[in-house]
Structure 1
């Protein structure tokens, strides 16, 4: 049984395959071992993302762990994961439409037992190593930008680089944007930043009971990340580029799933 349903996996692979650059055979004799098919390696990477297992446990007679890691790094170097996420965003915006008038941003802390570039002392896990994801979604909860940082970083300083992810939309942003934030962003610095960017805001007030608002969708997106993809629940990658690649792949799967769900009722 595939880690992701075939009605999502097949279109995902079709677009991913189109982004893979051609491989130039530079072996002088042309007698090396046959290259493992890209589809086999891609399926293994999806299994690593969804199941959270190590490369060694996912490998078998069809593909070794070394091949999975080597091909993964080749695709990261070619920018395929980022390009795939961008294409899924454009497709969703063209078919359904992104609600960019309302943006929601929130942080999510997960374990990072292996340490690495984006690991730090977690304030919610007795100082153990952790990673924080600053997640930005549109008004419907579609992830449009994710920034990974050590767990000991506060939410407020991560807001500016997270909002910079909007540059991927170029001149297609609406003139008026409202940013919905929780009480962790309740500061004069945050309001000054949003004012400088020309955005409105709705920020929960510190010290008051939990206030309902439109930002619940980003909490749901964090649940999609951590409950649907075990690799994002426990970050075992030491390099930031590899972690970002898995986040981009997870976002692409989420958007394709939402497109299919919207098609049922549209």
Structure 2
């Protein structure tokens, strides 16, 4: 089970980026710490199945769900999953699997049944408490950057912060890539000050206009971000927000991006 959830090739990428463990005392060292790979497998299992942390079968993973939650907290604080995500993006670019000329942005609502921050009344779900996932993908729908806000935050408020958070992607000789040539978005991002800011950054906005008939043709490009949300919400722990802590929820989102990018690599790597 552990090897299936965390394959050898994925673990080889994650292990060097894990923070070092504290030095154990030579006298009365206490119990041995849980294996990191088993803990990561437990986190992935919870992410995929959506079970609660306390329901994680200890006999399968050799550790409790509380231990996995603590490792997730520590690794999120250390930026482990974000670093692995950037590493995989570099490798995908080296294999010509990224279309960095095009970027697509969008947001999606999820319910937050246990509250926490940031949450808010969702305008598309009868004002029920929820959060919103924001993502920018490349032209092939591979996630470049994600964030989470309250369910009442407008998509447009996160456009520039997402663009500024785009990672520097290496993988090839020459100058690394960070800014796309074109950015596609729906009518929710149609504001003149956003268009001006994007142009100042050297990005050509391709955003649908408000109060115009449908059929602009931009959907032929933008559909990849909708597919990305389908991939993201296949992880049942993200389909509904169960985490009260925003950092834990965002850590699971970054881990989901890691798994999506890992699937795009050739099986031989």
Fold-level similarity (TM above 0.5): yes
Deviation at 1:142, TM superposition (A): 0.7
Structure 1 residue aligned with 2:196: 192
Q: Are the equivalent residues in 2 in contact too, given 1:136–1:218 (CA < 8 A)? A: yes
Contact 1:106 1:135 in 2 (8 A): yes
2:233 to 209, 226, 233: 226
SS at structure 2 position matched to 1:166: coil
- Quick one: structure 1 residues 250 and 167, their matched pair in 2 at CA, closer, same or farther if it must change by over 3 Å? closer
Measured in 2, the distance between the counterparts of 1:211 and 1:152 equals 27
Q: Kindly state the Cα deviation for residue 28 of structure 1 after the two structures are TM-superposed.
A: 5.8
Distance 2:265 2:26 in 1: 47
Give secondary structure in 2 for the equivalent of 1:259.
coil
Shift of 1:176: 6.3
CA distance in 2: counterparts of 1:157 and 1:24, whole angstroms? 41
- CA–CA separation in structure 2 for the residues paired with 1:183 and 1:175: 22
Tell me if the contact between 1:147 and 1:161 (Cα under 8 Å) persists in the aligned partners: no
3-state secondary structure, aligned to 1:84: helix
d(CA) in 1 for partners of 2:88 and 2:189? 30
Alpha-carbon separation, structure 2, partners of 1:187 and 1:230: 34
CA distance in 2, matches of 1:84, 1:203: 31
5+ unaligned residues in a row in structure 1: which ranges?
A: none
Q: CA deviation at 1:96?
A: 2.4
User: CA offset at residue 17 of structure 1?
Assistant: 1.6
2:126 aligned partner: 126
Does the Cα contact within 8 Å between 2:107 and 2:135 map onto a contact in 1?
yes
User: Is 1:67 matched up with 2:67?
Assistant: yes
Answer whether contact 2:168 2:177 (CA < 8 A) is retained: no
Q: Residue 54 of structure 2 aligns with which residue?
A: 56
Q: TM-score, normalised by structure 2?
A: 0.88
- How far apart are 1:167 and its partner, in Å? 4.5
Q: Which stretch shifts more, 39-48 or 62-71?
A: 62-71
Residues 1:77 and 2:77 aligned together: yes
1:183 aligns with 2:190: no
1:160–1:60 distance in 2 versus 1, CA, 3 Å:
same
Q: Please, what is the CA RMSD of the aligned residues?
A: 2.4
User: By percentage of residues, which structure has more helix?
Assistant: 1
Provide the secondary structure at the position in 1 that maps to 2:58: coil
Which sits farther off after the overlay, 19-28 or 96-105?
A: 19-28
Shift of 1:174: 7.2
Normalised to the residue count of structure 1, the TM-score between the two structures is: 0.89
For residues 79 and 206 of structure 1, the distance between their equivalents in structure 2, rounded to whole angstroms, comes to 38
